């Protein structure tokens, strides 16, 4: 994750991603900080109507820095572990 305080413009992000792809790497824009993710790409997957019929579900992925995900969502809670410790 870049230490720059200035956010990338969409054009700057696309330019960085194209440069990475041209060099044989993958590049995405982080959905949290909007900076480019080149290495150690993390994906957040959203499934709508998760508890409904499978044919009604839709899925989409967003890419991010793992650090941004943890900073934004907090440490994940393991509900199963909490139940067994209760």
Q: Which of 8/33 has CB closer to Zn ion? A: 33
**Distance (Å, whole) CA 12 – CA 56:** 37
Subset of residues 1 to 30 that bind Zn ion, contact rule: CB under 5 A: 30
* Measured distance between the N- and C-terminal CA atoms of the chain, rounded to whole angstroms: 38
Q: What is the DSSP string of 60-80?
A: EEEEEEHHHHHHHH-SPP-HH
Q: Which of 13/68 has CB closer to Zn ion? A: 68
Check binding of 68 to Zn ion (CB under 5 A). yes
Q: Which of 13/33 has CB closer to Zn ion? A: 33
Contact positions vs Zn ion (CB under 5 A):
30, 32-33, 65, 68
């Amino acid at each position: 994750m870049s230490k720059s305080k200035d956010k990338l413009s969409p054009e700057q992000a696309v330019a960085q991603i194209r440069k990475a792809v041209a060099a044989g790497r993958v590049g995405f824009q982080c959905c949290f900080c909007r900076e480019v993710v080149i290495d150690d790409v993390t994906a957040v997957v959203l499934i709508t109507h998760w508890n409904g019929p499978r044919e009604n579900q839709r899925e989409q992925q967003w890419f991010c820095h793992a650090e941004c995900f943890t900073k934004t969502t907090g440490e994940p809670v393991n509900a199963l572990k909490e139940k067994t410790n209760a």
